Chains A and B, each alone.
Chain A
Amino acid sequence: MKNETTNNELLLSVQDLEVDYSSGGSTVCAVNGVSFDLHQGESLGLVGETGAGKTTIAKSIMQILPDHATKRVAGEIFFKNQDLMQMKEKELQNIRGSQISMVFQDPMTALNPVMTVGEQIAEGIRHHQHLDKAHAKQAAIKMLETVGISRDRIDEYPHQFSGGMKQRVVIAIALACNPELLIADEPTTALDVTIQAQVLDLIKELRRQKGTSLILITHDLGVVADTCDKVAVVYAGEIVEIGSLEEVFDHPSHPYTKGLFGAIPDMYKDVARLSPIDGLPPNPTELPEGCYFADRCPHATEECRARHCQLEHITGTHYVRCLKTEQEG
């Protein structure tokens, strides 16, 4: 899959995205200058911890940031050469759900409890493909079967489904109109491991059939290794390392990325003690001047604390934001 995709057309290009929220009088800098490209057919994993800004990046692409809390948004998000940031709500409505759709973390709350799953899948189809009720229902039945649920259950309500089945329904809704880009925000975090395996295999299979591009948001490096061909590591609202799966997993280069790998118990190696990353992520209301990771970094120097550095190219498509790497060349 990888080799086919590299020559493909640019689908999404995020440039210098910045998002600030206001919270109780202070400004939370949630996203601080994020840029990345996604080509058709590619799958990018956005990895990071709670509060790193992963979901805010996704919501910015969908243009569904909460109005009341969002203080400032800057940057450009080009989807097929159109800047989503400049679009009117009406135009966006035609893109959301038809060309870009999103799968949310918690399938329990993402579904409407008083609509049958059939109606919920058909809703988007009717809106975007202008089908009548009967045809939309036929399409919904087909979609339900695609995600591995029997057509007999089309008139059932969400509470009649288990967690894994609900997430399948959410995926059916998201893929109903054959979007070109699917954004999945922690799609399997609420699920058990054997069910997680089923859902990830389903996403991979559907991507193979339909060529959908994917942005997968997760805190789980194992999920990225399983599903993605590109990785961006997000820390304190910025990308600290980005590259192909092999580049980042075989040669993690940012101290934070290295730290993440050291903190996970290894399934094949016996280590007496894990190597946690000391300390906590910086407070997003008062980010330091220099490197955001400096306070937790074992290699940090005065220079790191004084100057905020850029993403630097290492090899191939591999970029790292670290002064040490920059200096070593």
Chain B
Amino acid sequence: MALLEVEHLKKYFPTSRGVVHAVDDVSFSIEKGKTMGLVGESGCGKSTLGRTVIHLLDSTDGVIRFEGEDVTHPDKPTMHKLREQMQIIFQDPYSSLNPRLTIQETIMEPLQLSKRFDKTQLPKEAERLMDLAGIEKRFRNAYPHELDGGRRQRVGIARALALMPKFIVCDEPVSALDVSIQAQILNLLMDLQEEYGLTYIFVTHDLSVVRHISTDICVMYLGQMVETCPTKELFAHPLHPYTKALLSAILTVDIHHKNERILLKGEINSPINPKPGCRFAQRCPYATEECHQPIPLQEVTPGHFVACCHVKDINNL
């Protein structure tokens, strides 16, 4: 059974210049223990989607089901329970920790709020969590500014794990870190997933990271999902023109196998009051009149969904 199901989810932000369609009619489901990678460029709505799913933002429309139960509009006790089961790790370990709490206090905060623990047990539990996330005991009474970026992100992870959630949204958790530290955190997240059967949504713009950590991938463009399928399939057979361009733009360290780069014209357009139809059409080399009609995700090959009306011609299917 899917742990999390999202159907026709929408998140709009009204602004003085019009309505921003940050997430527009997105549907997907994640099985327990899997990692769904959400990729796309800045402003495509991937973070908003992650935050809406765990109710940090209220959805505008659509349905969110967690363990089969409709949790789109939870009442207060349900919300409380959901918060314990759905957690988030933020991108910026510098701004997501309270500068006036020590590491131990930061990690103990959710433990206190849950009322699961006796006061005397708290420090011991915090110590266990620090150990789990690989933070040395000597940092117990340190403040966030005394820690480097990698250790701060470990604190963010320990805090997210405090109440043993089932589901964690990882919102660009390694983007602010250097590569050598990034690998440490990715390994930690994968170890924890294996040990506790965690389910992740992994939001990132880094395709090599997402390929490494995810079992399935959703590619987003301007609030819409353009392609979704298992990770291996996506990298072997990208079908949507945007995904193809995105993958071709990855710079690899392999100097003998250079990608044939598909250069896109122009830049991402505005998500304010978008026109109907495919939002990528303006930059798409294959766009025709037809593309300005609304286009749903279609299952093109088994398990591989694409929103593109020319997908068959482009890929000779």
Interface residues of A (CB under 8 A from B): 49-50, 162-165, 192-198, 200-201, 219-223, 225-226, 245-246, 249-250, 259-268, 271, 273-278, 280
Q: Is the interface of A mostly helix, strand, loop or mixed?
A: helix
B183-A263 in contact (CB<8A): yes
CB closest chain-A residue, reference B252: A267
A197-B263 in contact (CB<8A): yes
Please indicate which of the listed interface residues A165, A264, A275 has the most CB atoms of chain B within 10 Å of its own CB.
A264
A193-B179 in contact (CB<8A): no
Q: Measured between alpha carbons, how far is A280 from B152 in the docked complex, in Å?
A: 13
CB closest chain-B residue, reference A250: B255
Q: Judge if B73 is at the interface, Cβ distance under 8 Å.
A: no
A194-B183 in contact (CB<8A): no
Q: Judge if B17 is at the interface, Cβ distance under 8 Å.
A: no
Q: Which of chain B's residues 118-155 have a Cβ closer than 8 Å to chain A?
A: 148-150
Residues of B within 8 A of A200 (CB): 251
Contact of B257 among A194, A195, A226, A268 (CB under 8 A): A268
Q: Judge if B264 is at the interface, Cβ distance under 8 Å.
A: yes
A192-B187 in contact (CB<8A): no
Given the known A-B contacts A197-B261, A264-B208, are A219 and B252 also in contact in the complex, defined by CB atoms under 8 Å? no
How many of B's residues come within 8 Å of A, CB to CB?
39
Q: Measured between alpha carbons, how far is A38 from B80 in the docked complex, in Å?
A: 61
A222-B178 in contact (CB<8A): no
B180-A226 in contact (CB<8A): no
Chain A proximity of B28: nearest CB distance (Å): 22
Residues of A within 8 A of B150 (CB): 280
Given the known A-B contacts A194-B245, A194-B246, are A221 and B180 also in contact in the complex, defined by CB atoms under 8 Å? no
Contact of B249 among A165, A196, A265 (CB under 8 A): A196
Interface residues of B (CB under 8 A from A): 41-42, 148-150, 178-184, 186-187, 190, 205, 207-209, 211-212, 235, 245-246, 248-255, 257-258, 261, 263-264, 267-268
Residues of A within 8 A of B268 (CB): 162, 192
Q: Measured between alpha carbons, how far is A221 from B258 in the docked complex, in Å?
A: 14
Residues of A within 8 A of B251 (CB): 196-197, 200, 220, 222-223, 225-226
CB closest chain-A residue, reference B41: A192
CB closest chain-A residue, reference B265: A198
B180-A263 in contact (CB<8A): yes
Residues of A within 8 A of B187 (CB): 273-274, 276
A193-B205 in contact (CB<8A): yes
B186-A198 in contact (CB<8A): no
User: Can you give 14 A-B contacts (C-beta < 8 A)?
Assistant: A49-B178, A193-B205, A193-B207, A197-B263, A222-B252, A225-B253, A226-B251, A259-B180, A260-B179, A264-B208, A267-B235, A276-B182, A276-B183, A277-B183
Given the known A-B contacts A265-B208, A265-B211, are A274 and B249 also in contact in the complex, defined by CB atoms under 8 Å? no
Given the known A-B contacts A164-B267, A201-B263, A265-B212, are A249 and B253 also in contact in the complex, defined by CB atoms under 8 Å? yes
CB closest chain-B residue, reference A265: B212
Residues of B within 8 A of A194 (CB): 41, 245-246, 249, 264
